[in-house]
Structures are given as structure tokens and as C-alpha cells.
Amino acid sequence: MMSLDRAYINCKRCYKLSYEDAVEGRNPERDSDLYAARNDALQSLQDQLYAFQLHNKRLGQDIDNTPEENLVKKLAEACKKCKFANPAIADEIDKQKSE
């Protein structure tokens, strides 16, 4: 789950940078560090999805949409929709841990 940990950290980093931009009156859409953090979070999710799929193939299981894969896809969608308003990936991971 290292990739999910990286996604969590980069999501928090992205949110922190967007908050700092808002406080300082900068346009977050022009902050390359913010987009780098967001892209790193999404890349981590993509890496995790690939790892789940590879694991299933090694086990001889050709199944799509396992609960783990669905979680990663849900996290990616949350990230794409957040508009830097909240740490969507981190919030969802925290929610999953508390269940």
C-alpha cells in the first residue's frame, strides 16, 4: 500500500499549497508545485491500481473491479473533482481506515 501512502501525502501537500496560494492571494492554477503534487498523487494511485491488477493476474484471477481497485478509482475521481477545496484523497483514506 505504499502507493496509497504516497497519494495521501501528496494530496495533503497539494491541499497545503492551494491553501497557501489562497492566503497569499495567488492564483492556484498558476502554481506548478501544486500541480506537481496533484499529479504525483494521481500517479501514485495509478501505480497502486496497476499493482492490484498485476497481483490478480499472478494469482490467475482475471477479475476487474475488485474492492481494492474500486477504492483506488474512487480516490482518483475524488482528486479530479476536488478543485483544491479539500484533501479529497486523504479524507477518503481516513474515512476508510475508520470503518
Look up the domain containing 6 and give its range.
2-98
Is pLDDT above 90 for 47? yes
Residues 6+ apart with CB under 8 A from 39: none
Is pLDDT above 60 for 1? no
Look up residue 68 and give its amino acid. E
Q: For residue 89, count other CB atoms closer than 10 A to its CB.
A: 28
pTM attached to this predicted model: 0.85
Is pLDDT above 90 for 85? no
The answer to whether the CB of 90 falls within 8 A of the CB of 15 is: yes
Number of domains present in the structure of the chain:
1
Task: Show the cell assigned to 7.
Answer: 497519494
